[in-house]
Amino acid sequence: MKEAVTLDIRSYKDLKVWQKAIILVENIYDVTKSFPKEEIYGLTSQIRRCAVSVPSNIAEGSSKRSTKEFIRFINMSYGSLSELETQLYIALRLKFINDMTNSAFESQIAELGRMLNGLRLGLTKKLNSEL
């Protein structure tokens, strides 16, 4: 007999993954302030948009009427994390950030990735129990 999986979420703000994604955004904005001014519409903007996309997709997905839609938005958040990781690697190669900063971001990104995967698994179990 299957048990229903419940995710007691009153708001996306209750999700630890959303809270940690907001911290990532703050860290990204702090670091990108020191990027060359000519990159404001280039890599700086792209990195910031990717970072902002992670918690934004979590929030948007949680407001959807179906679990399937929420999972789709969690997948988009995960994609934005991968894109962000690539852009930070480019920033490292261009010497806009150093190895230590990149490593710190890699740790944050890896943790968020694990959390998003966990949320996706929980939502998938919930979806399967709804069928």
pLDDT digits (tens, 9 = 90+) for 19-42: 999 999 999 999 999 999 999 999
pLDDT digits (tens, 9 = 90+) for 97-119: 999 999 999 999 999 999 999 99
Domain boundaries, the chain: 15-130
With 0.85 as the threshold, say if the pTM is over it: yes
Element (H, E) at 60: helix 43-62
Domain range 15-130, CATH architecture: Up-down Bundle (1.20)
